Structure 1
């Protein structure tokens, strides 16, 4: 029994005796009850005294555990070791502090180099991770390596166990610059392709749905300006021009009277032929013989620089001269054969050549 328990027992016995004595002396009880209390109190007192006077056994303390024999560990710093990445031409630059200890109880260093075994084990474990990682994630792979190499693990022959700390993983400055440029190019290409697809979608929507014909264009414009019906009616001519231009056709006949009149007095409905007779932009309508003849040549698919154009122009001019259409013939030659001097209507060739001799 401890000293604290002995003291507590003594105090309990004293206070119990005082309490029972007080009850016996001052409480109004019959005599036999008082005698019973005295007997019980005496029995309790004797039991406590007997327990108190019994010899005590010494306490047994567990023996302290034997001291742990410290494991001998050694370290080696490795720096700037190239490790492959998922991209063939880009290597990681690896540095770390390698720590190792022998597994066998008695490792014979004369038969093997534990330092080389530890470094090789760490590099092999690091290589298994880096060769499947992209070089652009060097900082993320560094933390992954720090966790993977933070435990002591045996080498392939189970001769030593090794770990690594203070791990760093970087790229060369040249590779870092190349990766930054490649990333910028990829982003620019992705943005350009997105803009191109957006433009193609808009063009397809406008050409295939909005400007398919004048009616579709008017419906689209009315949907966007549903509170300006009068303005939509005024813009029907413009929408007809837009839809015809988008489909490379002339403005339909029902909408030509709605077209605006330019300053030269011609209407856009007559657009579609250039002054040289070729189909083109919004030029004045063909009103002269050269214009009509140019349209004829275009329909016949005669090239602009073909000699056949000049030959046909000369033939038509001769026919016009024969029928007295000298102005039209001269205009035709000026347009299609500038090298040929025009023959005016006031010139009549002589019926006979002049004589070489003097006048008789």
Structure 2
């Protein structure tokens, strides 16, 4: 379309308007089909198919990697559970050989220190074995006669006076019976330990000596059970004592738990008519007792070692617990005494262990 030039005049400065020719703009409409050459159409279709194939391959690879990761994670968790005895996770016994050897060596060193320091050297509180006093011997005999407070309660509650109970400080009696009650509950755990076959000796003798000498024999057992399994070794049949302790594990747990609880109460409130003082005075006696008697000092060592050995052994044997009780036992195994009570009460004695 052609337009003419129009000139307008003014008295001042006449502006000049110039209308030149112009062409109308071509507006692109998305609905208007774009015609491409045949070759371009083929290339576009090929590129679209190629991109689709690449997306499918990438998605397939991503899915495969995800499935592989999940399978690997599940297999790892399954292996960890089987090593840990169910829901408890791994343990020291299932660690790398080098780590296990280090732990084993440390246990043998601990056994040597335990014997030399507590029995032979004169530097610990109290008298060593080779210089033990008659007073210490009499105290040990009196504590043994008052085992689980049977004689004191028979004299005071039942009225049985055929044998009179030795009169000792309730703090010393409570400490002695607390450790013995805790030791009693180790019997079902030792007889059901999955690694007990590595110990070639008698579990009856081991536990019997443990009742009197505590960790003197338990530390070597903890080291020996870390040995590699002997393929040619034939497992021994469970002894009569082992069967009684295993089948009667709930009773053992209740007796040991009651003994430990009674020991604490007896230490704090026992022999109230014997002028043994209030709680503060009894606490002061306990401090003096631990600093002057080798037997009491050794009991503190035993308590510390039991705090380590209890969760270790229970964690290795969670497969012996009844279904539905594994989680609670696995949680309570770290609580001194309570974890061992839970193990005894929840032990599945119906299966062949």
Name the TM-score class by shorter chain: under 0.3
User: What TM-score do the two structures reach when normalised by structure 2?
Assistant: 0.19
Higher RCO, 1 vs 2 (CA within 8 Å, ≥6 residues apart):
2
Higher strand share: 1
Larger Rg: 1
User: What TM-score do the two structures reach when normalised by structure 1?
Assistant: 0.19
